[in-house]
Amino acid sequence: MYLPQFAGSGNPRGKVTNSSNEQFGSIDLRRALAESVNTVFAQLNVKVSPADTRRAAVDAGLPKDTPGLGDNYTNILGTASPRVIDMANAYATVAAQGVRATPYLIREVRLSNGAMDCAVRKQLTPAFDKDQTADVTDAMRQVVRVGTGHNASLGARPVAGKTGTTTGNKAIWFDGFTPSLATAVGMFNEVNGKTTSMVDVGGYSQLFGGTIPAKIWAAFMREALQGSKVESFPARAGVGDDQLAPPPVTTTPTASTATSTSAPTSSATTSTTTTSTTTATTSTVTTTSTATSTTSSAGSTTSSGSSTSSSRSSSSTTRPTSSTTRPTSSTTRPTSSTTGSTSSTTGSTTGSTTRSTTLTATSP
């Protein structure tokens, strides 16, 4: 597909492709999100405007000064370089039904008379209408149910999220949430201070956000949510459904007579934004260079990336996202963040090159 709005240096005709040049035909936004169809969201950004896409990302929780977060048409495909904590915070906003929390760090918890004193004054800001986030959540559930994020499934526990893979496999992401906890996982490879493509890592000839990041996300969330109640997401609200044109009527001939049947060629779209969404509460994050480290706080969580010499992955979670096409962020150094009322961070090192960190947070 060629879109003049996407033309630029190295791409004079504005060519937009999907992973492996896969073709999907006419599909709705739910399936486009589930399958990470770049060509659909590129067209959507032309209609919505890149300025509104950027505004949605900022409303969700990405800082305005996030590197690469501009008003260019390609912002829908993930040209920014957000921190892990900011991505987790953004997805937590969606999980918290549109309420954004300012992340914070817990430095210490003091005990007084045997009681824990960790009261936090949370800074909460309404960012999106809850009906909008309900529809976005419904669309992102398809990513895990039938799409590129199936490795993030938690069985009977509802999950919503989005995979992300940059050109050349230099960065891969999985950001997702349950009704109470949001986590972001980012992974990249660095050699001598320069990001490079990730090949032959963990037995994979080619890496995507739905491979190792989604598996890290699921492994962490199983532990973080162990023993907690299985909660349900809000039902889909169907914002804008009344504005959709009725599906065309097609005629299907049979052996004896021709009967007229109504067959929808495309289903109603359920998500109206394709940029990153926000997370709910504030968050705390800690990363260490040791194999594992955990920390918990009463208010929020944030996450930061780990530093290694060659291959790095980081993830963050928040307790109480619009999402983008395959690359949720094209940053060469993906980080993930989390917000919420409690947070924990764990890091693990495999071999001498790969490392992951995970953070969690609870919503207000």
- Given this model, what pLDDT does residue 316 score? 55
Q: What is the mean pLDDT of the chain?
A: 74
How far apart CA 350 and CA 353 sit, in angstroms, is 7
Checking if the pLDDT of 83 tops 50, the result is yes
Q: What does the alpha-carbon distance between residue 89 and residue 253 come to, in Å, rounded to a whole number? A: 53
Q: Which domains does the chain have, with CATH numbers?
A: 4-227+269-360 (3.40.710)
**Bridge partner list, 261:** 250
Residue type, 304: S
How far apart are alpha carbons 264 and 143 in whole angstroms? 22
Q: Write the CB contacts of 88 (distance below 8 Å, at least 6 apart in sequence).
A: 175, 182, 183, 184, 279, 283, 301, 302, 303, 316, 317, 318, 336, 337, 338, 339, 359, 361
Task: Please report the sign of the dihedral spanned by the C-alpha atoms of residue 246, residue 146, residue 229, residue 105.
Answer: negative
The answer to whether 362 touches 338, Cβ cutoff 8 Å, is no
Per-residue pLDDT tens digits for 103-112 = 888 877 777 7
User: What is the mean pLDDT of the segment spanning 262-277?
Assistant: 32
Look at residue 35 and tell me whether its pLDDT is greater than 90: yes
pLDDT at site 322: 38
Least confident of 23-37, 132-146, 183-197, 302-316: 302-316
